[in-house]
Amino acid sequence: MNVRCIIFIISVKLQIEIKPIPIKLREMFLGGRGLDMYLLYNHIKPGIDPLGPDNVLLVSAGLLVGTLAAASGRTNIAGKSPLTGYLGRSNMGGFFAPEMRWAGFDHLIIKGRAEKPVYLWIQNGEIEIRDASHLWGKPVREGEGIIRDELEDKNIKVLGIGEAGEKLVRFANVMTGIKNSGGRTGMGCLFGSKNLKAIAVRGTMDIKIAHPEDALKYNERVIKDITKSKVSQVMGKLGTPFIWGATNSQGLVRCRNFQLNQLENSSDIEPETYEKFITGWASCFGCAVHCRSKYVITEGPYKGTYDEGPEYTSTCTWAGETDCRSALTIHVCNHLVNLYGLDTLDTGNIIAWAMELYEKGILTDKDTDGLKLKFGNDKALIEMIHRIGKREGLGNILAKGPLRAAKKIGKDSMKYLLQIKGMGQLNSDERATPALALNIATASRGADHLSSRPAIDLYHLPEPVLRKIYGQPVAYDGPLTSDYRDYEGKAWMVRWQELLYEAVDSLGICKFQTVFLGPNLPNWDEWSQLIYLNCGLELSPLDIWNAADRSTNMERLFNLREGLTRKDDWLPDQYFDQPTTLGIPGIRGLTINREKFTRMIDEYYEYHGWDKNGVPRPETLQKLAINKEPSHKL
């Protein structure tokens, strides 16, 4: 394998250091998210201010990014979270990470803070820090265009922030292209805290493929397996919003800030109705599925506006949580969060919370400057996105994130807040699905459906099929059940999926083309082959599993060092105290059982080799060869 470089920007002033990545660290952490976790633990001192110059910003490409592997275009971003104070990381699609690798770099470590707005210009092994004062205040998409014009290259890829990141909204996104978003944990806020508007890259350098002919043939087989799966075929026609039909009809979504678990009379927001907006379909680098819709808003004040999306989470957020049942509103809201660079989930979550506070009299017309912030008020919803993005009025308070906003508002506002580890809750309702509930409670970055969610638990797969999936690359002979309402065996499923997603993010490939939504999609065996054929590294499925386990433990060590305790791996009280009221008969009247859930956490910890407090045991760290961290080997 050709040794790639890692760039250290010691300060966003002008001190730059470039180093190679040792093969040993590749074998231990792969790349992308995995290697980022090692770097984060080694380059941040405990207790630093996330918005201070001592925080680091990591931007990386996975081990397979830009190669002949399918859907290998993911970009990973990490740092200490401005939103939670714990682990901050995000993962996004598009074309940025492949371009960065073609420009000669796999990982960026950005330290310090610039005195004025800047952007980085990276081209074929060269790095330049340029003035971005003229870009400050521009939406991401407009800023991209200006950078391409001034550098006279339309093929430049840009990673940047919008107004929300500049104004330090705690849940601001980093974005690339029209809608590819590094959401959750406020990585856009971290960009803004460093006065870093964007990173622009252009590369025409080679990535050496170890066995190019065999890699092409093998990837052709992998693509055929991906595209013939039912889930991929549906996503290619409807995008991720197809999931809404399944989850809402069963009663597995969160509505009106958890007051309900199903949105009734919602025919206008079924994915088929989006066709009147859609103008075509797009994909990320190396992807044959094309799950992202292109659309134009057809009426109202935003008529003629072009954008991409919305995803499933946008449907849940702008419809379910806020009780606004208009497809037009969903597409407008999707456009606005892209415009400002805001996280869809946290923005919708905190607005829905504010709507409940308004209806209960905790927030008044004085607090909202006369805005009738009621559920189902589409105009108020749209206005609140503007106010959060601009940090105006009540939006300035909500921009602080859930825990800080609740402290500022006071009264009984915390009683109605749904958050885990300081990050806003998902727009799903896990009271009927203990495995998914364990996932969000224990995920390293807070309420999170992309860290360890066993989504295929909803498929009622036969036990022999489950055993085939969850019995490799390490043996498992414990209980497994097809009933997603059951508690038995779910801790292992969550731990298994957690390592799967850690590996996926470390390789830089798309989760949608793995055992996330499709039980027959590629996993450990295929990745072992892809790594060998593309990179020349001989890593067995078990080696990849161990690499994922290693970086998962690094995430845990980071959070523990920042003050995390077992009590943070827990659900909001509503999950235990408020039964579901809607949905199919088998889901109505359910809550999470506290005793059974506590046992699930114990099992989950034990599978990880952690003690009862969730602390990795010394023998676990020694087995994974991370017992002497921080080591500062890189």
**111 falls in which pLDDT band (50, 70, 90)?**
very high
Tokens of 472: 């490799």
Quick one: CA dihedral 558, 562, 565, 568, positive or negative? Answer: negative
Tokens of 16: 């730059």
> Is pLDDT at 107 greater than 90 in this prediction?
yes
| CATH 3.60.9.10 intervals, the chain | 5-202
> Is pLDDT at 505 greater than 70 in this prediction?
yes
Mean pLDDT of the 591-606 span: 98
Mean pLDDT of the 592-599 span: 98
Mean pLDDT of the 54-63 span: 97
> Is pLDDT at 202 greater than 90 in this prediction?
yes
What are the phi and psi torsion angles at 104 (to 5°)? 105, 5
Q: Please state, in angstroms and rounded to a whole number, the distance separating the CA atoms of residues 135 and 198.
A: 9
Mean pLDDT of the 261-284 span: 93
> Which residues have CB under 8 Å from 119's CB, separation 6+?
129, 130, 132, 135, 147, 160, 196, 197, 198, 199, 200
Residue 9: what pLDDT? Answer: 78
**5 falls in which pLDDT band (50, 70, 90)?**
confident
Minimum mean pLDDT among 12-26, 27-41, 189-203, 401-415: which range? 12-26
CA distances from 100 to 60, 199, 321 (A): 8, 10, 37
Domain 5-202 has CATH 3.30.230.70: no
Q: Please state, in angstroms and rounded to a whole number, the distance separating the CA atoms of residues 481 and 90.
A: 32
CA distances from 234 to 93, 162, 280, 308, 366 (A): 19, 32, 15, 18, 47
Amino acid at 520: N
How many CB atoms sit inside 10 A of residue 568's CB? 18
Contact 501, 513 (CB under 8 A): no
Q: What's the pLDDT tens digit per position in 423-443? A: 999 899 999 999 999 999 999
Mean pLDDT of the 132-148 span: 96
Residue 200: what pLDDT? Answer: 98
> Is pLDDT at 301 greater than 60 in this prediction?
yes
Q: Please state, in angstroms and rounded to a whole number, the distance separating the CA atoms of residues 608 and 590.
A: 29
Tokens of 190: 């971290």
> Which residues have CB under 8 Å from 601's CB, separation 6+?
438, 441, 442, 491, 566, 569
Q: What's the pLDDT tens digit per position in 611-627? A: 999 999 999 999 999 99
CATH number of the 249-424 domain: 1.10.569.10
What are the phi and psi torsion angles at 582 (to 5°)? -125, -175
Tokens of 340: 């400002």
> Is pLDDT at 2 greater than 90 in this prediction?
no
Helix (H, G, I), strand (E, B) or coil at 336: helix
Mean pLDDT of the 242-248 span: 91
How many CB atoms sit inside 10 A of residue 627's CB? 13
| CATH 1.10.599.10 intervals, the chain | 434-623
Distance between terminal CA atoms of the chain?
Answer: 19
> Helix/strand/coil (H, E, C) string of 89-152?
EEEECCCHHHHHHHCCEEEEEECCCCCCCEEEEEECCEEEEEECCCCCCCCHHHHHHHHHHHHC
Question: Which CATH architecture fits 434-623?
Answer: Orthogonal Bundle (1.10)
The pairs formed by 589-597 with CB atoms below 8 angstroms and a separation of 24 or more are 590/431, 590/432, 590/485, 591/431, 592/430, 592/431, 592/434, 592/437, 593/434, 593/487, 596/434, 596/487, 597/434, 597/437, 597/438, 597/441, 597/487, 597/571
Residue 610: what pLDDT? Answer: 98
> Is pLDDT at 109 greater than 90 in this prediction?
yes
Residue 164: what pLDDT? Answer: 98
> Is pLDDT at 1 greater than 60 in this prediction?
no
Burial of 611 (0-12, 13-18, 19+ CB in 10 A): middle
β-strand partners of 420: 423
Q: Supply the Cα-derived Rg of the chain in whole angstroms.
A: 23
Q: Please state, in angstroms and rounded to a whole number, the distance separating the CA atoms of residues 447 and 349.
A: 12
Mean pLDDT of the 602-615 span: 98
Mean pLDDT of the 381-386 span: 98
Contact 205, 104 (CB under 8 A): yes
> Is pLDDT at 634 greater than 90 in this prediction?
no
What are the phi and psi torsion angles at 178 (to 5°)? -80, -40
Residue 11: what pLDDT? Answer: 76
**3 falls in which pLDDT band (50, 70, 90)?**
low
Contact 399, 388 (CB under 8 A): yes
Tally the residues of the chain.
634
How much is the mean pLDDT over the chain? 95
8-state DSSP, 317: I
> Is pLDDT at 333 greater than 70 in this prediction?
yes
Mean pLDDT of the 33-53 span: 97
